[in-house]
Amino acid sequence: MDARAIIARLRRHEVPSAAELTWFAQGLADGTVSDAQAGAFAMGVCMGRLGPGGRAALTLAMRDTGDVLSWDFDGPVIDKHSTGGVGDCVSLVLAPALAECGAYVPMISGRGLGHTGGTLDKMEAIPGVTTQLGPDRLTQVVRDTGAAIVGATARIAPADKRLYAIRDVTATVESLDLITASILSKKLAASPDALVLDVKLGSGAFMKSPDEARALARALTETANAAGCRTSALITDMSQPLAPSLGNALEVGEVMRVLTSGRADDPLAQLSAELGGVLLSDAGLAPDAASGADLIRAIIADGRAADRFGRMIAAVGGPVQFVENWQRFLPESTVIREVPAHASGYVTAIDGEALGLAVVALGGGRQVESDTVDPSVGLSRVIRLGSSVSTGTPLATIHAARQEAAEAAEAALRAAITIEETPGKLPPLIHERITP
């Protein structure tokens, strides 16, 4: 086969065959395809459409360029993926709760890039935790504790790693077909029996409109189910941070408050239960999603999820007594200051992306992959939409390494929060469910 012929087909708005897409994906992984050809391929896909069949073929082709994990457990292997938001630390709540229900959860996650936080960075805010495990060690940890949150090895979907880097510099990141193949080639390499997708919608998400979020959710669910993995999706709200904290150690703190206090009405706990309920139902561990959600809530409320989380953390190198003493172990910033409101009224809008970028500027995220992350910085006690405020009411608390960084974050935070005389309409936590 010839890369030029495949690119020419895309230019004519034709869909390459499954064999051609498999050849091209392998060429991405082994270097047969040049950077120029990879860029032309990405642009060709971006300017046209692969359609459901082509999208599924590209996804499986990219998955099969590397290792595809296999398991021998006495229960279903299940997983969850979020398309990215701010204050989104659901994975740390959900993985141990699902494990307590009899599932096995080898959750291969990513790092933060852009305005969204990364699950691996949050895990590594806990002293001693390692998220890079070889296949044998990963299998042992999941067998012993039921769950592990780890990073992908270089042998997981190497074609995607190469293509993503090309997309990043060729303005082709937004392609629905390429987004779908990128997400699912890695997720399906972990061979889950069931998968739930948390597709974010709103100011703090990549998908800003309902139509964009719905199109992505449908593309992901159709492709994953075509690949043989039972998959559902929830379109969830990201018009404000999910948890009231942004930043790695601060978000771990929110996770621990939920797990150790049993706060079932907290948005973080609510969304964890709803996503978990869908997964338990799809995996055959609950009769329906509502029953599954009730089970997750009960496991969080009575402390079983916290105990399981502690076992998971210890198994990957964290403190044995982390759950009992988490406040002592998490790093703290040297500069902590409240940001008071300069007007009275109601909080009617929050620019989540701007808040996420403010945390990046504090050192809590990355502008390029090689950046070092400060786990202690970020924002806490971020005010919620609909809140009534008076002059002087705290809008958030800044955690910074330096005074000048805190001042810049304060300016960004004030610009990101809209206060008006009358309250606005509050969005639902869950907008829509997409089922097979």
169: pLDDT strictly greater than 90: no
Higher-confidence position of 367 and 24: 24
pLDDT level of residue 419 (50, 70, 90 thresholds):
very high
**372-394 pLDDT tens trace:** 899 999 999 999 999 999 999 99
Distance of CA 386 to the CA centre of its chain: 26
**145-155 pLDDT tens trace:** 999 999 888 89
Alpha-carbon distance of 283 to 24, in angstroms, equals 34
pLDDT value for 423: 93
pLDDT value for 167: 87
Alpha-carbon distance of 46 to 26, in angstroms, equals 20
Burial of 177 (0-12, 13-18, 19+ CB in 10 A): buried
pLDDT level of residue 165 (50, 70, 90 thresholds):
confident
pLDDT level of residue 27 (50, 70, 90 thresholds):
very high
**261-305 pLDDT tens trace:** 877 789 999 999 999 999 999 999 999 999 999 999 999 999 999
Mean pLDDT of the chain: 94
- What are the structure tokens assigned to 347, written together? 């909080």
Alpha-carbon distance of 378 to 247, in angstroms, equals 4
3-state secondary structure of 184: helix
**89-119 pLDDT tens trace:** 999 999 999 999 999 999 988 876 667 778 9
pLDDT value for 206: 80
- What are the structure tokens assigned to 207, written together? 């998908």
pLDDT level of residue 369 (50, 70, 90 thresholds):
low
pLDDT value for 48: 87
| Residues annotated catalytic, as ranges | 79-82, 119, 167, 182, 186-187
pLDDT value for 6: 95
pLDDT value for 164: 86
CA distances from residue 203 to 221, 378, 412 in whole angstroms, order as listed: 23, 18, 15
Strands 430-434 and 230-237: antiparallel
Percent of the chain with pLDDT strictly greater than 90: 86
Beta-strand ranges (E) seen in 274-380 are 335-340, 345-350, 378-380
Alpha-carbon distance of 118 to 109, in angstroms, equals 8
Q: Sheet containing 378-380: which strands, arranged edge to edge?
A: 335-340, 394-400, 378-380
73: pLDDT strictly greater than 70: yes
pLDDT value for 265: 80
The answer to whether the pTM exceeds 0.85 is yes
pLDDT value for 368: 67
168: pLDDT strictly greater than 90: no
Alpha-carbon distance of 299 to 423, in angstroms, equals 36
Burial of 140 (0-12, 13-18, 19+ CB in 10 A): middle
